[in-house]
Chains A and B, each alone.
Chain A
């Protein structure tokens, strides 16, 4: 996903001189092509995220479209006040890119788990929050981010995420995309766990439970219409994300509670746990219930009650 990000950004920067990239001393084997092609529009700000973000605001005040880039929580939590006051308050064209959302850096320990970012960034006025599911969603939505005014947060996985969408997709900021249709359950995911949602839906179908599967890369603004339409007549809406409560599930539940939907709702998320041991992304997802087995069991038990 980070490769599709930088390839697309480089392509767009060839045509638009306003595009700048400012990283926090991270991006080895990813950012070099951009840095070499556009040395006058690339800055490694060093391990100094508050300055990285503040100076990006300054560049944006002078008309640039700026991307900041670091991993996990570094480009967000470390410099949150700069994002809030310098960028969002002034509604500037600065886009925060975090590589390694969720448990992508799982084995590195808790300091590198990006599992509160969606919730925190969504709280900021003017900030759009986007967690693409695969490289195709990344490329498509990145173009939309460059084209729009105002700040965005782009939460990427790390590497080798499978391509899920086999063709180009018609998707925009504020829009979800339905990949499978069904009548019993709506499964809505954000980020890379779309794969889990799709596999779960196929497994559930064999047991006679059919599902809508929706990828919702745009958590803010969220595709309220699609959520409401998909929930109609369903027994259950279930969300899944590599993130704590306070993200996708919370937003969708608040939409449903004000709607005509009278079915059940469940959010599968990381919960309150601080996991103090190492683990791969798959392992950590599994133990936190962000898995095909937990999603299927949860659906089956809630539908049967």
Chain B
């Protein structure tokens, strides 16, 4: 198994290449989430790439279903399918659609419309708890996604039902799809909001692997509560011309930009 930092580099390069080849969007959000996924798949989650539906696996629901390229990349690197499949991203007749597709091995749920993943994760967590399973459920949502009312229905639900096997990771990169969080719908004070909803809250640097490992491995933080990890991240992290730029929610790197970006990842 690769170390988490090496894994993060590899999957960033895959995601950059896939996004370029497919001329698709969302590279900024993929890069903000890369470290979270690298740590989850190298240090935290129990899974079996040869048996994606292994009963005792931990479940990951990507609620921010547009962070596709990076999730497909990490699933590939850890052995769920072959790298040639990544070349079919967004191509005709490919299951590797632009938002995560449950036909891809390792993907639990197809998502794409924001606000769906957390309710589904609540149902999975509830079923696992009733069957006294040790499996944990992780769901990653974006910050803009927290605008959706359906998210808050689940945020009420989870602590009420003591879903301490449920872990929400918020990729808090401060930019949503048509403005910054502060411009569109401010979320602050986000920690206080979740605390008042009876969640256990951790707030970390979402690019610091040690902090990620500590936060993601040591849940539930409080006995009967679901956990939320507010991961402060940077959209486009690691690529100097992409960092904190709204445009990179949409743009696809051209050939020169791709080369530059890969160099930067390799040197990091």
Contact = CB atoms under 8 A, between A and B. Distances in A.
A259 interface: no
B126 A55 contact: yes
Count class of interface residues, chain A: 20 to 34
Contact of B120 (A45, A64, A86): A86
Interface string A47-72: 01011011111111111100000000
B119 A53 contact: yes
Contacts of B120: 54-55, 57-58, 61, 86
Contacts of B130: 40
B19 interface: no
A211 interface: no
Given A54-B120, A62-B123, A86-B120, A46 B109 contact: no
Interface string B98-136: 000010000011111101101111111111101100000
Contacts of B108: 61
A121 to B, nearest CB: 18
Interface of B: 102, 108-113, 115-116, 118-128, 130-131, 149-150, 153-154, 156-157, 161
A46 B160 CA distance: 11
B102 A51 contact: no
Given A58-B126, A90-B102, A46 B156 contact: yes
Contact of A61 (B109, B150, B157): B109
B116 A85 contact: yes
Interface of A: 40, 43, 45-46, 48, 50-51, 53-64, 81-82, 85-86, 89-90
Given A57-B120, A61-B123, A85-B112, 9 more contacts: A50-B119, A55-B157, A56-B123, A57-B109, A62-B127, A63-B127, A64-B127, A81-B113, A90-B109
B110 A62 contact: no
B194 to A, nearest CB: 16
Contact of A58 (B110, B124, B131): B124
A51 B122 contact: yes
28 contacts: A43-B126, A45-B153, A46-B153, A46-B157, A50-B153, A51-B119, A51-B150, A51-B156, A54-B116, A54-B120, A55-B119, A56-B123, A57-B109, A57-B123, A58-B119, A58-B120, A58-B121, A58-B125, A61-B109, A61-B123, A61-B124, A62-B123, A62-B124, A63-B127, A82-B119, A86-B119, A90-B102, A90-B110
